[in-house]
Amino acid sequence: MYVKFYYDNVEKEIFEPFAMRAYYEGNIIPKNKKGMHKWIIDNRVPLSESENLKKANEYFIRVLKMTGIRQIVAQGAAAMPLIGGILSSSPFNVNAGIIRKESKGYGKNKRIEGTIEPNKPVLLIDDLINGGTSAMDSLEALRESGFSNVSFSTLMCYDWGKGKDRLGILEGQLPYYYGIKVKKT
């Protein structure tokens, strides 16, 4: 394997099958003009299976319980099953929002749809963080919409990625919770 998984904040025996389901290696994965990826992690695969989605939901519900936050928001394909799963399996009431890449230009013409309120804490969720581009975009959309009490949680974080620094996590500016750390071997 090209990476090693560290189950810092989740149970290894529960989440190792999830991680192995997401991990692919081999020169079959297109990269870009430079060649092929040797490996990828695609969390959309385990998140499309009920057994693994339940595991992910339980992790995020644990974060919500620990923090007392009762609003979640997400952007992106891998996060959408998480939103529905958390809402349907949480033992307490949770409101949710979905962040669009841009306002759709009709209807309510909002970038953030759902029932979340700016005056209450919100947990931004994502499957993983690497460079932090999508998380930064989401955070900016939330701030532009008046959200000031934002925390962030991911299932996985790439140890080498610059996202945690870009988002202010390393300086303590954004509360952050993760389940699995991924390091290159």
CA distance 87 to 53: 12
**Domains of the chain (ranges, CATH numbers):** 50-179 (3.40.50.2020)
pLDDT at residue 108, rounded to an integer: 78
pLDDT at residue 30, rounded to an integer: 67
Tally Cβ neighbours within 10 Å of residue 149: 13
* Residues contacting 43, CB < 8 A, separation 6+: 22, 78, 127, 128, 155, 156
Tally Cβ neighbours within 10 Å of residue 163: 22
Q: Which residues of the chain have pLDDT under 70?
A: 27-35
Q: Which amino acid is at 21?
A: R
The pLDDT tens digits for 132-144 are 999 999 999 999 9
Angle at 34 between CA 30 and CA 35, to 5 degrees: 40
Secondary structure, 3-state, 104-135: CCCCCCCCEEECCCCCCCEEEEEEEECCCHHH
The pLDDT tens digits for 40-74 are 899 999 999 999 999 999 999 999 999 999 999 99
Do β-strands 71-74 and 122-129 pair in parallel, antiparallel, or remain unpaired?
parallel
CA distances for 25 relative to 1, 6, 44, 104, 122, angstroms? 8, 18, 16, 37, 35
Within the chain, what is the greatest distance between any pair of CA atoms? 49
